[in-house]
Structure 1
Amino acid sequence: MEEDKNYIGMIHGDLARATQVRSGMPESIGVMSIKTANRTILEASLLPTPRALWDSFWYEGELSCLFADSNVGKSILAVQIAD
């Protein structure tokens, strides 16, 4: 049943892409891709849910920067998160 939903979502994504091309809207300009909000939401719904790496603080695939004043425990926190 879950596979059927995935196929249906993929078909909807292809349909959204075809509609964009048919309307004359370019798919990209240089390195920027152009999509409708509906197409972006549909494509995001087909991606797997990211795994929480540390509670709900960081998720798989995110880029984060840990910064603070000196001697407040950044390194200790980073080691605890990595463990």
Structure 2
Amino acid sequence: MIHADLGPELEAIVLNLIESGKYSSRAQVLRESVEFKDWRETQLRAFDASIERGIAEIKAGGGIPAEEAFERLFEKYPDLR
């Protein structure tokens, strides 16, 4: 079993989560934290891939000029102006 000193701030957060009834143990808080970290990393990888696809599309001559894109947005969302 691993024991770690979380420091007073993190320890207080963990204890508060347990005392509030949201979690039943320190292990449950840690497991969900790891799951969230994995989810966040998956989302970031998908976002990075989306950016790379967009850059590749632009380099291949695709896309539209920024002015046109903004004009479309302003038409769709007039309150943005």
TM-score for both structures, normalised by structure 2 = 0.33
Q: Between Structure 1 and Structure 2, whose CA radius of gyration is higher?
A: 2
Structure with the bigger percentage of helix: 2
Greater share of strand residues, 1 or 2? 1
**Higher RCO structure (Cα 8 Å, ≥6 apart):** 1
